[in-house]
Amino acid sequence: MGPLLLSAFFGTFVALLLVNLCQKLLDPVRAAILYALEPVWATLLAISYGMVTANGWLLLGGGALLLGNLIAELAPRRDSA
């Protein structure tokens, strides 16, 4: 139990520390895209470890997430006057 807790703590601590330090270097839209892609990476990792099987629903959900982020990033900007 000790190694698991230490790994979880330090893994989470280091990841959040890097995110907080590097977030100021990105504009808000790009930071939001990076945050939104976290479930995609988690899913790919789960598939690679055999925890989940890739099926149509998984691909549809991941595709919808990716498409929404691309639309948010590539859509023309409106002035908020």
Q: What are the CA-CA distances from residue 6 to residues 14, 35, 59 (Å)? A: 12, 24, 33
Res 24: pLDDT: 84
Residue type, 64: A
- Is the separation of the CB atoms in 43 and 62 below 8 Å? yes
Res 53: pLDDT: 86
Closest by Cα among 56, 14, 10, 65 to 38: 65
Res 2: pLDDT: 77
Counting every residue written for the chain, the total comes to 81
pTM greater than 0.85: no
> 24: helix, coil or strand?
coil
For residue 81, pLDDT over 70 is answered with no
- The tens digit of pLDDT for each residue in 25-70 reads 888 878 777 777 777 787 888 888 888 888 998 889 878 878 887 8
